[in-house]
Chains A and B, each alone.
Chain A
Amino acid sequence: MNKKILDLAAAAALFGACLPAFATEATSDGFPPAQNLNYYNVPGADQATDSLAAPLGGSDYLFLAGSAFTPRTSSQTVSYPGSGCTFTDGAITTSLELPNGASVQGVRLYYYNNASPGSVSLFFTAYTGDSGLTDLLTGSSTVATGYASEYFPASSPVVIDNGGQAYVLTSTMSAGLRLCGMRVFYSP
């Protein structure tokens, strides 16, 4: 019994001695600051690669920040509230360039909504250049507690055909909301 107490005391002393070192490393070695606790992650199948359920053959992500999207018209307002997020009262787009033959499983939408009405929407669209278009995937945000992300799976995997069409990610949003990014989940 006495030995157990002594062992516990020794462990506590060692742990206590290490605490200042941890704190120093966290600030001096370039560790990122504490993550935003006001972030809600809605789990999805795109995160299976972190687990034993990872699909055979591997999967990849292409993560594009909201601030990399550009306005589709000049008549809309665009602002930058920070942290890679963008607000606009119109539509913003970016070209999606993936390896030919890649298979898109879905898209995770990153956004900010702090109790505002409305939603942030995503569109994954293919254009043929001659007026043809197909919305391959659409989704709208549902969380309103600050920063959040949600995964929207494709109804069936979308096989990229770079010779056949152009692929575009588009977002629209209600007032007060922000697009912070889209992460495409695909198999090469």
Chain B
Amino acid sequence: MIIDIRKSGATSAKALSCMMLGLFAASAAIPVVAAPGDHPVEPYAPVSAQADQPAGTFGYLWIAGSTFHPLDSTTTYSYPGNGCISKTGGSNPVFAHKVVLPQGAVARFVRLYFYDDSTSSVVAYFTTYDGAGNFVERTSIGSTDAVGGYGTTLSPLFSYEVNQGSAPINIAVNMGVQNDSTLRFCGVRIAYDAPIIDRIFTNGFESTPL
């Protein structure tokens, strides 16, 4: 819209009023810019099998199964290949790997990768600890029998803001009672919102003239 300021005073005042109203309405419709520490608006999309992979939305941390270790030295396990592991014995079926995400990131989904041609299942838990004997399983996701063996499942949408100073995070994986390679844990992919970092005024304004 172009306003001709050469028009009479009444006409241009009316035009300016309309413009101001328009700007006000437009500003009301624009979402407030997120500030540091704000949680992004959720959800991004209805939770579906692909909800963790809208283009350009999430950061990812993908950890292969072959880098996990058992919690108990009596647990036996094998490497059937392709980055996967299988439990072969022992009374403690849990494997773990640390999760290091950026401070302030918000974890949203855990995607489980597996090979499941068994009657048992593998379950992954996104778990936080406090170092004082307490833990919280923020979300979990289990395998299902998959055609051809290999498959992937997605956890429900959840929201956990990373605080590296107060709560370490592990992915704990329970391999159940299956003790052969018909059940394999191949990895997890964590989808997270990157922290909002605003460094513009971190040090305040310049105290001396440039």
Chain A residues in the interface with B (C-beta under 8 A) = 70-75, 91, 93-95, 97, 100, 125, 127, 129-133, 162-163, 165-168, 170
Contacts and interface: CB of A to CB of B under 8 A. Distances in A.
A163 B53 contact: yes
A127 B187 contact: yes
B187 A166 contact: yes
Contacts of A72: 66, 79, 85
A125 B83 contact: yes
User: Which 3 pairs across A and B sit closest by C-beta, in order of nearness?
Assistant: A129-B113, A127-B83, A166-B64
Nearest to A95: B67
A11 B107 CA distance: 64
Contacts of B150: 129-131
- Greatest chain A CB density within 10 A among B58, B66, B68 is at B66
Interface string B80-104: 0111010010000000010010000
- Greatest chain A CB density within 10 A among B58, B63, B115 is at B63
Interface stretch (B11-19, B69-77, B126-134, B202-210): B69-77
A130 B113 contact: yes
A59 B63 CA distance: 24
Contacts of B81: 131
Interface residues of B, number: 33
A168 B81 CA distance: 13
Interface of B: 53, 58-64, 66-70, 75-79, 81-83, 85, 88, 97, 100, 113, 115, 150-152, 186-187, 189
B79 A73 contact: yes
A107 B129 CA distance: 34
A74 to B, nearest CB: 4
B66 A93 contact: yes
7 contacts: A70-B67, A74-B75, A129-B152, A130-B150, A130-B186, A163-B53, A166-B83
A74 B97 contact: no
Contact of B82 (A73, A74, A94, A133): A133
Given A97-B100, A166-B187, A73 B78 contact: yes
A86 to B, nearest CB: 13
A94 to B, nearest CB: 6
A163 B78 contact: no
